[in-house]
Structure 1
Amino acid sequence: MLRLFYFFRTSPRVAYGSRHSSLSNDLTFTGTIMIDLSHSENQVHCVTNFHDLVSTPYNGMVNAICWTRKLTGDFSEIVKKVALSGNITTIEQEELYALQLSEQGQLAREILINDLQALKTHGASPTLNVINHYDRDENYPFFPTDVYSFHVDRSPIPTDTFLCTYYGESSEILPNSQVQQKILIPEIRDELRKLYHGAEEGFDSFLSEHFFDLHYQATPNAHPTSLGIGHLWRLAIDHPESKVPPCIHRAPKEKPGQSRLLMIC
């Protein structure tokens, strides 16, 4: 079963684009792009290039690395030009090349292809998706296990979650101190026991097998951090060799009529 990790609150931070400087009130500036880290409790470390994104180790409270970027190009044009199929449409690289795009659309395409290639060279398996919405988990109304719930990712081998939203609503993360693991909340645990009909010693395995232990509930005063548009993120996941707690995140609720362009692996 996953352990809960709690961190102490530190002074607020804000991060901007490409050049770093520090002020006495612990504001972090990196150029001209602002990410509001005022409630992140130092869980985010910002970098300015892909090499640092993939090579900077997680440490202490830090379980999210962000390559802050201000991207050029019209990513909405790509969303509009892709032939959509179902709730989630995966765009293959060949399809990207085949799109007839304006100059701004071509700039956006070049960035997408560069990101795909960089992640593949790193050894990841990125996918580029146009998302209308994810399927909702309606099996357990009191405990949905879909991606709209705050959750962590898990792997049996050391790896990371990479993601970047180029258009539409962006994902959110929370410090581990601002959540409680849902399976430890008494009323939820009681409801889960009603679903389980085996021996008591197998209950924790049941929770893990059905992914209940990956989900978290935000505390009343929690303040999620938006991952923003165009920034490429690397998030710590739950794996046997991890030295930091996994990063708790969730997908956004999409705006009606607006799809989301997301690269993830």
Structure 2
Amino acid sequence: MANLSHIENQIKSVINFQELIASPFQGEINAMCWKRNLIGDFSEIIKKVASNENIVALHLEELYELQLSEQGKLARNILINDFKLLKNQGASPTLNIIKNYERDDAFPFFPTDVYSFHVDRSPIPTDTFLCTYHGEASDILPNSEGIQKILIPEIRVELKKLYGEGSNDGFESFLSEFFFDLHYQAKPTAKPISLGIGHLWKLAIDHPESKVLPCLHRAPKEKTGEHRLMMIC
């Protein structure tokens, strides 16, 4: 991972899965990392799952059926173990092979796809877990280095035009209904942090009982011809 000095007050490092699960977010901490150096050939798994789809959800049954080399088997064992660890904690992990996500061009001045820095939201207390095993990794951004897009004057003007300039009644609800309030713009001097390969992360999200700020994160721009393999829940 890159130098974390400018965001270290927001990140807590843990030594195992149990500590990752048990450690609560508090103070300024809204991201936790179980740093790992994984072994195995994860790219082999991607190659074995032939598809022209932009995103393929890979199920455990399919993983078990793949004919793999010894290095591929090591990678598969890690994926299965991570899946079961998260599942046993009540999470609903999904393992995805990603060519690219769909771009949002409905509002050219305000894309709301996952390539934009955003926070996750839930009506119940929960966290986001994710790990990239192959390909480009996701980024996070210190909260102090991002600004909510709906607060940027020129963007707010366009949003009010979209909503209708006759009245402000219901405008804030409109911003929430269409998820505009979840997205952030990096400041000019911002330094996004790559989450790296193989590390399992827990990110704070926006929910009614949260005591910390939600973590700003985004999907990376994929390299041409290279798929990502990631687990998220």
TM-score under structure 1 length normalisation: 0.86
User: 1:169–1:253: 8 Å Cα contact kept in structure 2?
Assistant: yes
- The alpha-carbon distance between structure 1 residues 68 and 255, as it changes in their structure 2 partners (threshold 3 A), is same
Equivalent residue, structure 2, for 1:164: 131
CA RMSD of aligned residues (A): 1.0
* 1:257 counterpart (211, 215, 225): 225
Residues 1:68 and 2:68 are matched in the alignment: no
Equivalent residue, structure 2, for 1:242: 210
Contiguous gaps of at least 5 residues in structure 2: none
Which consecutive aligned stretches of 4+ in structure 1 deviate over 6 angstroms post-superposition? none
Tell me, in whole angstroms, the C-alpha distance in 2 between the residues paired with 1:101 and 1:260.
19
One-letter identity of the residue aligned with 1:195: L
Tell me, in whole angstroms, the C-alpha distance in 2 between the residues paired with 1:41 and 1:137.
32
Deviation of 1:38 (Å): 2.3
List aligned pairs for 1:181-260, cutoff 5 A: 181-197=148-164, 199-260=167-228
- Greater RCO, 1 or 2 (C-alpha within 8 Å, sep 6+): 2
Deviation of 1:258 (Å): 0.2
Deviation of 1:85 (Å): 4.4
Residues 1:58 and 2:14 are matched in the alignment: no
One-letter identity of the residue aligned with 1:98: E
Contiguous gaps of at least 5 residues in structure 1: 1-33
Tell me, in whole angstroms, the C-alpha distance in 2 between the residues paired with 1:83 and 1:98.
14
Tell me, in whole angstroms, the C-alpha distance in 2 between the residues paired with 1:60 and 1:85.
44
Tell me, in whole angstroms, the C-alpha distance in 1 between the residues paired with 2:88 and 2:8.
32
Percent of aligned pairs sharing the same letter: 70
Tell me, in whole angstroms, the C-alpha distance in 1 between the residues paired with 2:55 and 2:6.
31
Count of matched residue pairs: 232
One-letter identity of the residue aligned with 2:200: L
TM-score under structure 2 length normalisation: 0.98
Equivalent residue, structure 2, for 1:119: 86
Pick which of 191-200 and 163-172 moved more.
191-200
